[in-house]
Amino acid sequence: MNNFSIAFLLTLFAGLATGIGSVLVLFIKDVKKSFLSISLGFSAGVMIYVSFIEIFFKAQESLVSYLGVRNGKIVTVVSFFLGVLMIGLIDKLVPDIENPHHAHNQNGANNLEQERGVDEDAQLLRMGAFSALAIAIHNFPEGLATFASALKDPSLGIPIAIAIAIHNIPEGISVSVPVYYATKDKKKAFFYSFLSGLSEPIGAFIGYFLLRSFFNDLVFGILFGMVAGIMVFISIDELLPTSRNYGQGHQEIYGFVAGMAVMAVSLLLF
């Protein structure tokens, strides 16, 4: 398989992991919160370590080769913070009440069912629909990040895709729970969750076809710098706080350190 096919399949895998979250809620009665906490911490560890140790320096290497040492380093730093700014603006533009990355009552399906009143079905369905839309908006740049990384270096794209897939699982939960309890329709709940994840491969395709004729060391370097910024922002703004909410004690830290260690070993081996 060529790099394009590998990059697309990895992006598709990462995006459709929202469906896994839906399956966990709808078909498994007891999903341990500690599992979610450790998994999210692990994902954050992978993403932060690979961003600072690998992706940032790959961006700098490409930009230095194209622009020279001083300008290349400057553009790398600017690209990193441009990625942070872009994902931060996207996060800001999604209204708080519908943003699944902000703290809602996500204590699980049983609590939600107990707190739901008879007249709240429409509100729950709206919450699920807007959560799906919000996740789709957030997943769009993630898809481009995964795709670009795998296109440049498939061995780097694999752990990034896995890390993003792990953090997409609770996003699928945040969509499927309110839709299911509003409609009692498992298929509809799964469909909304599944649909929200499709924006990742769509984002990859749109980004690729807009930029493919311009792909060179300059474009790859800027894109990689932005990818590093996006992933660090996602980890700090979304993954670690959510991991702490689900966990007890230092579970999110254990997962975080384990994620960094696994990423470090994989980079040394491959």
> Is residue 30 within 8 Å of residue 223, measured between CB atoms?
no
- Cα–Cα distance, 235 to 258 (Å, whole number): 15
What phi and psi, each to the nearest 5 degrees, are found at residue 31?
-95, 115
- Is 61 annotated to bind ligand? no
- Is 71 annotated to bind ligand? no
Tokens of 83: 């990625």
- Is 250 annotated to bind ligand? no
Q: Distance of CA 113 to CAs 107, 124, 180, 182, Å? A: 10, 11, 10, 10
- Is 2 annotated to bind ligand? no
- Is 168 annotated to bind ligand? yes
> Is residue 58 within 8 Å of residue 217, measured between CB atoms?
no
- Is 139 annotated to bind ligand? yes
Residues that constitute the known binding site: 139, 142, 167-168, 171, 200
Residues that constitute the known binding site for Fe(2+): 139, 142, 168, 171, 200
Residues that constitute the known binding site for Zn(2+): 142, 167, 171
